Structures are given as structure tokens and as C-alpha cells.
Amino acid sequence: MADEDNGNDTEVLDEEPRSILLGLISQLRKGMDLHRVTLPTFVLEPRSMLERITDFMSHPDLILSVAKEEDPLTRFVSVVRYYLSGWHIKPKGVKKPYNPVLGEHFRARWVFPDNTEALFVSEQVSHHPPISAYYYASPENNLIICGDIRPKSKFLGNSAATLMQGESKIYFTNRPGEVYQIVMPNVYARGILFGRMVMELGDNSIVRCEKFDFICELEFRTKGFFTGAYNSIYGKIKQESTGEIIYEITGKWSDTMYIKDLRTGNKEVLFSVQDSKIYPKIVTPDDKQEENESRRLWSKVTSALIGRNLDLASNEKSKIEDCQRDEAKLREADGIDWRPRYFLHENDEYKFKYTHLSKDPAIAKQSIESFIFSPNATPAYHSSNGPHHHNQDG
């Protein structure tokens, strides 16, 4: 989908937005953490980071039947393909999704051609530092995908980096002990001082399955000043303990990627954007959502951005952020600790609270669905005087 000049990912700012951005940048120091910096609304993508996570669930046909595959290496390659299929979905130009506020959540479901389903919830479980936890389950297909994203933004001079810390895990519930651990690459916005603004993925990413000693080492290559191409990727799938390389991955993550079997020399398409279908997610209409559900929470900002009314978007965004600060001060004054609604914090991990799943897929799906989509049960807040119940929507 991306052409050679990377037209879908570049942006030339008008004079006024550029001057606003330069004024903001003049206050920054190289290496400074950008999370506490309020960005101008013209750099915002009109959706929350909690929704953007679902980009990686856009091609379920690549993963739904993998649990039935008997060969471990074939399963591993399929997981790598599925993971890489989510990166091409992005806004035009250089845009950043909304920073979710504490307690914000996003819920969705998918219905597949065979009438099986997948259920999803993501929640902002920490604000300082920012952490977004998520859980995706399709019990009928023996599939669970979960993890958290801990973005850390830094100013680097003519570019800004979002270091994508955190880890994703993929489980096939019919295969005990088989876990696929995924570490993401970093995201760079180039040309924020001079030149064309462009969004790139850079650095390294890893997919690992310890049970079978497989690892995929991926390098997302950024374009050099004079050489190279945008959105290039190079990877190796190998036996981790011996270092034996089994497959080689090349191509562009925004277009077509190839995989070559080094044992046979056979090379074929791993994933093609043009030949792949995006499966739409089903989301409750905004006016039927809870007040801290992403699309409803940010609806006025989104409407203003789509209408290109940047002043109104800034005002509505400020209202949300001011409200969050006020709530944080009230909790601190009352000695109240905030606790996530859907996730438990254990050993620096955020785990989905509903863990006792039935082995019957229909019952498991019903249980997860009830837990995710039931009306807000007034999440608990804890203080030294014992648990409190506070309705965030009030």
C-alpha cells in the first residue's frame, strides 16, 4: 500500500501548525520524556490508544485455525505472520492517538464467518507511568491474546520516539505450556524541525516460544538520509539454543513481506496487504457506552477533529484532562487507591481478572462476555479505612 516516497506516512505542515510545533519544541530538551507534554491537537489521530490496539486483531483469519495445526514450527510461523499483519493499519500522515485517561476502557467483539466470536477489552490501568492492558479471547478457537503497552516518549532533536515497552502473549488453550511472547519495535516521528514529517517503525522486535526453542528476531529498518527505503523489515526465525537459522523474512511491513526457507531455498509471500481482508469489529454505539468508555469519552474531541475545528478539539481535550487531574487530587486527599476494573496487578504484570475458564468453549465465551460487557459494577477503590465503592461515571 505504501509507495516508494512513503506518501501515506508523510505530512507537510501548514505554516501555522508548524510554528505552533516549533514553539512547543523550543521548550524541550533532547532526551526529555514527552508523556507530560501536552501536544497540539493537529497531531492527534481521532481515536484512543486503547482502540488502536485492536489493529493487531484485524486479520483473525491468519490465527483462528492455528491451534489445530499439529506442527510446532508451522504454528510459530503463523504467529509471526499474524503479528506482522497489524502494522500496516495507520492514519495518513504523522498522527498520535489520544493518551487514555486512568480507568478509560474500550470494548469490542468480532463475529466470524463460521459464527465463532472473539471478545476484547482494553483498559488504562496506570497513568504515571502510562500503561494500557488488554485481553482478546476466542474460546471456540482456543485463542487468547493479552498483554500491556507501556509507551515512553522522548524528544530526540529532529525526531520524537515512542519506545514501545511492555509485552504481548499469545496462548492456544488446547496446548498447555505453549506461550508466544512478543516485544514490539519503537515508533519514530521524523522531520519535526525540518524536512517532511514521517512516521517510521524502528529498532528490533522479538517473537519467542520457549517450549519449542523458537525465536524470531525482527529488525524494522528506518530509511537513511541518502540510502534505504521506508518501512523495510528483515528477520530470522531460528532455533534459539543452537542459533540455526531456519527462515529469513524480507520486504515491507506496509506492503508485502516474504519468507524464505533456508533449508530448501523456497521463497513465498508471508503477508500481502493488498490480498488481505480487514475484519470489522463491532462496537457499542457511542450514546450507549459508559461515560469512561473510549469512543464516548473522546466523542466531542473526535467530532471536532473530524470537523477540523482544532480550537474546539483543544478545549474538549483539556476538559477531559482537567477532570482526570481533579479526580486524582480527590483520591489523594481521601487516601484512596485506584484499582483497575478488568485487570489485576501481580508481579509487575496486569492479568485479566477472569481466569477460571470452563473447558466448554460455549460456557467460557458466555462467562467472558458477561464479565466484559456487563454494566459498570462500580469499581472498588481502597483506602486505609477499607474498600470504598466509587462510581467513576458519576
Q: Tens digits of per-residue pLDDT, 314-354?
A: 899 999 999 999 999 999 899 888 999 999 999 989 999 98
Task: With a cut of 80, say whether residue 196 has pLDDT above it.
Answer: no
Across 301-308, average pLDDT: 93
Cα angle value 258/143/184 (rounded, 5°): 50
Phi, psi (degrees; rounded to nearest 5) at 314: -65, -40
Task: With a cut of 90, say whether residue 307 has pLDDT above it.
Answer: yes
pLDDT in tens, 258-283: 999 999 999 999 999 999 999 999 99
How far, CA to CA in Å, does 286 sit from each of 121, 245, 280?
Answer: 16, 49, 17
Across 373-391, average pLDDT: 47
pLDDT band, very low/low/confident/very high, at 393 (cuts 50, 70, 90): very low
Mean pLDDT (the chain) is: 85
Which helix H or strand E contains 27, and what residues bound it? none
The candidate with the shortest Cα–Cα distance to 92, out of 201, 13, 8, is 8
Please give the grid coordinates belonging to residue 322: 482537567
* Cα–Cα distance for residue pair 303/222, rounded to 1 Å: 34
How far, CA to CA in Å, does 339 sit from each of 130, 192, 321, 344, 368?
Answer: 14, 37, 19, 8, 20
pLDDT in tens, 150-168: 988 877 777 788 888 899 9
What does the pLDDT read at residue 267? 98
pLDDT band, very low/low/confident/very high, at 14 (cuts 50, 70, 90): very low
The candidate with the shortest Cα–Cα distance to 101, out of 375, 285, 317, 352, is 317
What does the pLDDT read at residue 200? 86
**Phi-psi map region of 244: left, alpha, beta (phi>0 left; psi -120 to 50 alpha):** beta
The candidate with the shortest Cα–Cα distance to 34, out of 147, 163, 141, is 163
Look at strands 380-383 and 336-338 and give their pairing: antiparallel
What does the pLDDT read at residue 224? 72
User: Which has more confidence, 70 or 381?
Assistant: 70
Cα angle value 79/82/86 (rounded, 5°): 145
pLDDT band, very low/low/confident/very high, at 376 (cuts 50, 70, 90): low
In the numeric block, the cell 524464505 is attached to: 260
Q: Which residues of 35-48 are buried (b: 16+ CB within 10 A; e: fewer)?
A: eeeeeebbbbbbbb
User: Which has more confidence, 191 or 346?
Assistant: 346
Three-state DSSP state, 203: strand
What does the pLDDT read at residue 10? 43
Task: With a cut of 80, say whether residue 294 has pLDDT above it.
Answer: yes
pLDDT in tens, 199-252: 888 899 999 999 999 999 999 988 876 567 889 999 999 999 999 999 999 999
Task: With a cut of 60, say whether residue 15 has pLDDT above it.
Answer: no
pLDDT band, very low/low/confident/very high, at 31 (cuts 50, 70, 90): low
Across 101-111, average pLDDT: 97
Please give the grid coordinates belonging to residue 249: 523474512
Across 162-182, average pLDDT: 94
Look at strands 197-209 and 179-183 and give their pairing: antiparallel
In the numeric block, the cell 509471526 is attached to: 80
What does the pLDDT read at residue 32? 57
pTM, rounded to two decimals: 0.86
* Cα–Cα distance for residue pair 222/66, rounded to 1 Å: 31
Look at strands 380-383 and 386-389 and give their pairing: antiparallel
* Cα–Cα distance for residue pair 136/138, rounded to 1 Å: 7
Residue 129, preceding peptide bond in cis (omega within 30° of 0): yes
Please give the grid coordinates belonging to residue 67: 491451534
- 35-39's contacts with Cβ under 8 Å and 24+ in sequence apart are 35/99, 35/129, 35/130, 35/151, 35/152, 35/153, 38/321, 39/96
Across 8-16, average pLDDT: 45
What does the pLDDT read at residue 38? 56
Burial of 25 (0-12, 13-18, 19+ CB in 10 A): middle
- For the chain, the distance separating the N- and C-terminal CA atoms, rounded to the nearest angstrom, is 45
What does the pLDDT read at residue 382? 39
pLDDT in tens, 211-226: 999 999 999 988 876 5
Domains of the chain in start order, with CATH, are 10-272 (2.40.160.120), 286-389 (3.30.70)
